[in-house]
């Protein structure tokens, strides 16, 4: 049996990183995305070139930490007995929540993060060689990244509902 303090620390790490992930997603959708559209093209391009890479690293770091701390916490809570995940109640609820959360992680890693990383690199290149017209490829990458962020955020919210329900059964 693991000491309760270890479970508490893991739970805090998991929840804090999940809040960071969800917060970053919501911040992008509600503040950053609309704000970038309201800037002039040169200002938007400069912002993306200077901040985009850092934002993606923060986003992926908090997403990865959420998954890692969640898996370690789960392992500790169930004492390594994964057969309990097949049982009704906690097992089913936590399994569904994890699956949805992991799909959100795959969305972040394979779609959203990649689109924004490409957009960041393109913005850096366009800062060196400014385009004559609107940077259509950058606009498309940002649009696709934004769609991925929306999907990921919805999935994260649904996963959070299952995780909270697993911790506080009604």
Tokens of 26: 């919501």
Instruction: Provide the mean pLDDT of the chain.
Output: 92
Asked if residues 36 and 44 have their Cβ atoms less than 8 Å apart, the reply is yes
Mean pLDDT of all residues in 91-100: 93
Q: Give every CB contact of residue 100 below 8 A, 6+ residues apart in sequence.
A: 155, 158, 159, 162
Determine what percent of the chain is predicted with pLDDT higher than 90.
Answer: 70
Q: Is 68 helix (H, G, I), strand (E, B) or coil?
A: helix
Angle (deg, nearest 10), helices 136-167 and 90-107: 170
Structural domains counted in the chain: 1
Whole-number Å distance between alpha carbons of 47 and 31: 14
**Least confident segment among 53-62, 86-95, 140-149:** 86-95
**Tokens in use for 167?**
């911790």
* pLDDT on residue 132: 79
Q: Which of 90, 83, 87, 137 has the alpha carbon at shortest distance from 115?
A: 137
Q: Is the pLDDT of residue 145 over 80?
A: yes
Res 1 pLDDT > 80: no
Tell me the mean pLDDT in the region 84-102. Answer: 90
**pTM summary value:** 0.89
What value does the mean pLDDT take over residues 133-138? 84
Q: What is the CATH number of the domain that holds 129?
A: 1.20.120
pLDDT at 170: 57
Contacts of 157 (CB under 8 A, 6+ apart): 22
Phi, psi for 121 (deg, rounded to 5): -65, -40
Q: Which band of pLDDT confidence, cut at 50, 70 and 90, is reported for residue 83?
A: confident
* Helix boundaries (H) for the chain: 4-27, 33-38, 41-77, 90-107, 113-128, 136-167
Residue pair 63/19 in contact by the 8 Å Cβ criterion: no
**pLDDT tens figures, 16-67:** 999 999 999 999 999 988 988 888 888 888 999 999 999 999 999 999 999 9
Domain span at residue 119 reads 4-167
What is the torsional sign of CA 38, 43, 49, 52? negative
- What's the confidence (pLDDT) of residue 169? 61
Please give the average per-residue pLDDT across 56-82, as a whole number. Answer: 94
């Amino acid at each position: 049996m693991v000491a309760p303090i270890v479970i508490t620390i893991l739970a805090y790490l998991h929840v804090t990183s999940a809040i960071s992930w969800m917060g970053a997603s919501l911040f992008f959708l509600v503040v950053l995305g609309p704000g970038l559209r309201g800037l002039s093209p040169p200002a938007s391009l400069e912002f993306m070139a200077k901040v985009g890479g850092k934002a993606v690293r923060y986003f992926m770091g908090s997403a990865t930490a959420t998954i890692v701390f969640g898996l370690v916490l789960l392992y500790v809570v169930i004492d390594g007995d994964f057969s309990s995940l097949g049982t009704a109640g906690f097992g089913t609820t936590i399994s569904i929540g994890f699956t949805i959360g992991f799909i959100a992680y795959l969305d972040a890693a394979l779609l959203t993060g990649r689109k924004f990383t490409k957009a960041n690199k393109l913005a850096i290149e366009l800062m060196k060689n400014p385009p004559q017209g609107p940077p259509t490829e950058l606009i498309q990458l940002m649009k696709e990244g934004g769609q991925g962020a929306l999907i990921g955020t919805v999935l994260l919210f649904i996963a959070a509902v299952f995780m909270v329900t697993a911790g506080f059964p009604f």
